Structure 1
Amino acid sequence: MSLFYAYAKNDQDHNTYRYLITFASRSVADEWWRAVQDSVTSSYKKFADAKRVTPQFYTHKPGVGNLYQTVTDPQCAPRFLGKVFFTLLNDHDGRNFNIAPPIDITDHISGKTYYIRSKHEPSKYWYLGSQCLTEGSKPSQVVQLSSTVRTRFRIKIRVADGSSQDGKIMIGSDDIYISVPGVMNNADVSNINTASDNGALVAGRTADIFKFHDFENGFIVAGAIGDRGGESSNVWKHEFGQKWELVA
C-alpha cells in the first residue's frame, strides 16, 4: 500500500506550526488517529483540541498539544513513531511548500451508513434482495451483489461492555456489527452458517460479529467459489475473500 499524506494546521493562526504528515499507509493514518482518540477518551486531555476535519486535514493547538508530540508522548501514540513523521512547513508568507496529493476516499466512522462496493469491479454494490435459500423455504433477506441497485448499510464498532463507539475511526482489528437501517426495524446482518465462517449473509437474524478487516479479505461473491455453477450473486463470509470499499 502506498504512502498516505495529510496536513495539520494551527487553529490559532494561519502562519505557524503547519505540518505535512506522512503515514506509512492509509490504515496507519486511521490507526494513529484512533490512538489519539482513545487517549482522550481515557482522560488524557493533552490532545483533546486536535480535530480531524477530513482524512487529509487536521487542526491542533500547539500551545496545548502539538500534534507531532502524539508519537513521542508515552500516553498517546508512541507505537507509531516509526510509521509516521511530521514535516514542519515554512511559515505562511508566500514561501514554497510541498503539495500532498488529494485522494478521494471515504472516512470510516463508526455508526454511519455506507454503500459497499467491489474494489475490483466498482460498478457492483451490496444489495439486500429477497431469496429462498433452500427449496420450499420462505424468502430471506439476502445480501447480494448488483450493478443496478444498491443498499446502504450501517457499520458500528462493537465492544464488550456495549457502550456506544459512534464517531470513532474504525480500524481493521475492530469487532463490528453490520445492519440495514430502515429495513425490518434496523435489521442486523449475520452469517447464515452458524457452524462455520463460510456462509451467505442474511438480514433479520441475530447479529454476528465481524471484523472491520473482513472488507479486505473476509467476504466473497458465492459464484467465485463455485456456488450454483458460478451463477449466484450472493455475498458470503469466507476465509478467502475479496476486497471491498465503503462509499459514503
Structure 2
Amino acid sequence: MSGVYYVYMKYVRETDTLRADYGRHLLTFRSRWDADELFRGLQALKTAAGASRFTKLQRVTSQFWCYDTVEGDPWWTIVYVQRENALPAFNYKFMSVILADAAAGRDWPVLANPTIGPDWVNGKTFYIRNHRQPNLYWYYDDSLIVISTSRRTKFLIKDSTYDEERVLIRSDKVTIEPTGSLGTSIGVYVTKNGDGNKLITSTTEQVWDFADLFDSVGVTWDDQSGFTSGTQFATSLPDLGDEWELC
C-alpha cells in the first residue's frame, strides 16, 4: 500500500463560470490509505460558524474528486487547508500542486500509477485478490476460504458501526460476508480462527479492522478432507500476511 499515490481535485461550482478555468489540483500521497483518510478528514472540516467547509466533496473515482466550498476564494481551498494546518495529522502525508489554468504558465503533470478498480466504499461487494500475484483470488468453499486461480467469490464489506455509504479507511471496523450467503435467514461471516489457523465462515459475526483484510491474511498448502490434495487456504497471519486488494 505504500509508494506514491495521486489524486486530481477539481472545483465544480455550477454558478461560477470560472470553474472551467481555475481550481485544479494534483494531490500526492504516500499511500492510498492516506488519500482516503484525508477525504474523510476534509468531509469533517467545519468553519468557525460550524458549517461544513466543503459544501460539496464528491468522489467520482478514488483518484478524481470534485469540490465546492464556502464563500471566499474557492479555487485554493486545499492550499488554505494546508497553510492553516487545519488537519495537522496530514502535515507529513500529502502535498498538492496547482495545475495549469486558463492563464497557462504551469505544466500539466501526467498521472502516474493510476489505480484500476472500484472505490472501496462501505456496503459494496468486492473480489479479494493477491496484490503481488493478481491471479490468486479468495473463493468461499464449504465454510473455508480457498485461494484459487480459477474461481472467485465476491464479499460484502460492511462497516459494523456505520450504515451509510462512505469510503472505508484502515481504522474502520468491518464485517466480511461471502455473497453466496446474503439473503439467507442466518448471516455467514469470514472469521479468524486463531493465529496461524485457516479462515473459516461462521454465523457468529466477527469484526475486523479494515486494514487487517489487506496484510494479516496468509496462504497455507494443506490436505483437507473434501478438497484436492495440496489446496491453498487463507490463514490468519497477523505478522506474516500477504498483500491483498479489493477489486
Shorter chain as denominator, the TM-score bin is: 0.7 to 0.9
**Alignment partner, residue 17 of structure 1:** 23
Counterparts of 2:147 and 2:28, CA distance in 1: 36
Task: Decide which of 149, 152, 155 is 1:153's aligned counterpart.
Answer: 155
Q: In the alignment, is the contact (CA less than 8 A) between 1:60 and 1:67 conserved in 2?
A: no
Pick the aligned partner of 1:199 from 193, 197, 217.
197
For residues 107-186 of structure 1, the aligned pairs below 5 Å read: 107-130=119-142, 141-159=143-161, 163-164=162-163, 166-183=164-181, 185=184, 186=187
1:99 equivalenced with 2:120 (yes/no): no
Asked if the contact 1:20–1:89 (Cα under 8 Å) also holds between the matched residues in 2, the reply is yes
For the pair 1:238 / 2:240, whether they are aligned, the reply is: no
Question: Is residue 2:70 matched to residue 1:68?
Answer: no
**Corresponding residue for 1:213?**
211
Per-residue CA deviations over 1:97-124 (Å, capped at 9, x if unaligned) read 2222251333211111000011232111
Q: Is the 8 A contact 1:190 1:205 kept in 2?
A: no
Farther off after superposition, 228-237 or 25-34: 228-237
Shift of 1:146: 0.9
What's 2:189 paired with?
A: 188
| Contact kept in structure 1, 2:55 and 2:70, CA below 8 Å | no
Identity of aligned residues (%): 27
Code of the residue aligned with 1:26 in structure 2: it is R
Distance in 1 (alpha carbons) for counterparts of 2:147 and 2:34:
29
Q: Show the counterpart of 2:94.
A: 84
Note the alpha carbon deviations across 1:110-150, whole angstroms, 9 max, x for none. Answer: 111000011232111111112xxxxxxxxxx2111111111
Q: How many residues align?
A: 224
How has the CA–CA distance of structure 1 residues 203 and 44 changed in structure 2, closer, same or farther, with 3 Å as cutoff? farther
Residue 31 of structure 1 is matched in structure 2 by 37
Q: Does the 8 Å CA contact 1:50/1:67 hold for their aligned counterparts? A: no
Cα deviation, 1:167-197, whole Å, max 9, x if unaligned, reads 2222222221101234262522212x3xx33
After TM superposition, give the deviation of residue 94 of structure 1 in Å: 6.2
1:49 to 44, 56, 80: 56
Gaps of 5+ in 2: 14-18
1:178 aligned counterpart, secondary structure: strand
User: In 2 relative to 1, CA 29–214 (structure 1 residues): closer, same or farther, beyond 3 Å?
Assistant: same
Q: Is the 8 A contact 1:157 1:177 kept in 2?
A: yes
Distance 2:166 2:84 in 1: 21
Q: How much is the aligned-residue C-alpha RMSD, in angstroms?
A: 2.5
- Return 5+ residue gaps in structure 1 as ranges: 131-140
